[in-house]
Amino acid sequence: MKTLDDLLAEGVAGRRVFVRADLNVPLDGTAITDDGRIRAVAPTIAALADAGAKVVVASHLGRPKGEPDPAFSLAPVAQRLGEILGRPVAFATDTVGESAKATVAGLGDGGVTLLENLRFNPGETSRDDAERGAFADELAALADRYVGDGFGAVHRRHASVYDLPARLPHAAGRLIGTEVGVLRQLTDDVRRPYVVVLGGAKVSDKLAVIDNLMAKADRILIGGGMVFTFLRALGYETGSSLVQEDQVPVVRAYLDRAKELGVEFVLPVDIVAGPGFPDLKAQQPTGAVVVPADAIPADLMGLDIGPATAALFTSKIADAGTVFWNGPMGVFEHPDYAAGTRAVAQALVDAPGFTVVGGGDSAAAVRTLGFDENAFDHISTGGGASLEYLEGKTLPGLAALED
């Protein structure tokens, strides 16, 4: 896989370099609530601009329906990107139309532009190879070189991620290089004990990664909404908590397999429960109570791991040589149910080994709860991409950069 440094060594001055970034940041109206992904790709963009390239940045934002939607405009991102880079960023109001063509044509050496949301064009996400390829052809006409640095999208077979690199000389950006290096440390060069902490809502989203990591990890700690399917598999009362009934037999088999492999599977011993899912905007007290994990009352919903479990998980992380964490332990956006996620984050900060926060809601939780990002060895920009890599899948966007 050619790197950004390889591309820079060849010379990019005066060349139009297309950078596929992942600028899919959370917005509150037009206000960016977490600019982590913008900051993560900024070094690649800055290096190209400093070398005299004409940098054409592109990304998706949200899930528009293949047509322009002001709610998903990248205009606020262009402004913030300019602030982070310390240089103007021109904004094209379309992806491959007249605005994009004129904005790119107007770039001087070292100039930067951001195209409007790629997903405003149906060809970006189309499952039809011809439609997707036609859109990739239009994107390719805007550039001379391609740099893939949108790690959060490399698990998607989308035009700008998979088809476009085949049409231009290409290289991997610095963010992708870092992300892949970290993932290799989690799969090929592991320092032990290796502890995997998994949370989030649905157990079905994590079964494949559990399956693949069961042969590698020493301990697997389970929290979040997915834990209640595990508790149900053990025959416990789970109240009105989220349970994927169709996954109960599968989870039971995984627990049996963990015993056979000698993997320590750690489940909660207590739960913080409430009368229902909290109103996150109101942030009012909900009457949360701590209950045993094996006896959640029928009228209560489990919404976080309890204090005894937080202490248990902390002890299981304390001597780790490697920790991978993906998925919050509870509804961390509400103060009544944030303590479990905060405890796990703090345990990673205190752990002596290599600590990785696996993107998505885990990364959002770290920032929301006020942790110093530098206290972790790595915070991934791609939750779904990280998980699919750890499942052992081939990621289309990485495969496209390797040839």
Binding residues: 22-24, 37, 60-63, 119, 156, 206, 302, 333, 359-362
C-alpha span between 370 and 372 (Å, rounded): 7
In this structure, the number of other CB atoms found within 10 A of the CB of residue 128 comes to: 10
* Residue 382 is a catalytic residue: no
Active site annotation includes 360: yes
| Residues pairing with 354 in the sheet | 322
Contact 163, 398 (CB under 8 A): no
Question: How many other C-beta atoms are found inside a 10 Å radius of the C-beta of residue 102?
Answer: 11
Asked if the bond preceding 285 is cis, omega within 30° of 0, the reply is: no
Q: Render 10-71 in DSSP notation, one character per residue.
A: H--TT-EEEEE------EETTEES--HHHHHHHHHHHHHHHTT-EEEEE---S---SS--GG
Nearby residues of 351 by Cβ (< 8 Å), 6 or more positions away? 317, 318, 319, 320, 323
**Cα distance between residue 311 and residue 294, in whole Å:** 18
Catalytic position from the list 20, 37, 132, 219: 37
Question: 360-368 and 383-390 helices cross at what angle (nearest 10)?
Answer: 130
* DSSP β-ladder status, 322-326 and 194-198: parallel
Angle at 208 between CA 2 and CA 24, to 5 degrees: 55
In the annotated binding site for ATP, the residues are 206, 302, 333, 359-362
Catalytic residue among 80, 87, 157, 202: 202
Q: Is 150 a catalytic residue?
A: no
The single residue of 123, 360, 382, 397 carrying the catalytic annotation is 360
Q: Which of 150, 340, 358, 384 is catalytic?
A: 384
Which positions make up the binding site for substrate? 22-24, 37, 60-63, 119, 156
Annotated catalytic residues are 37, 202, 360, 384
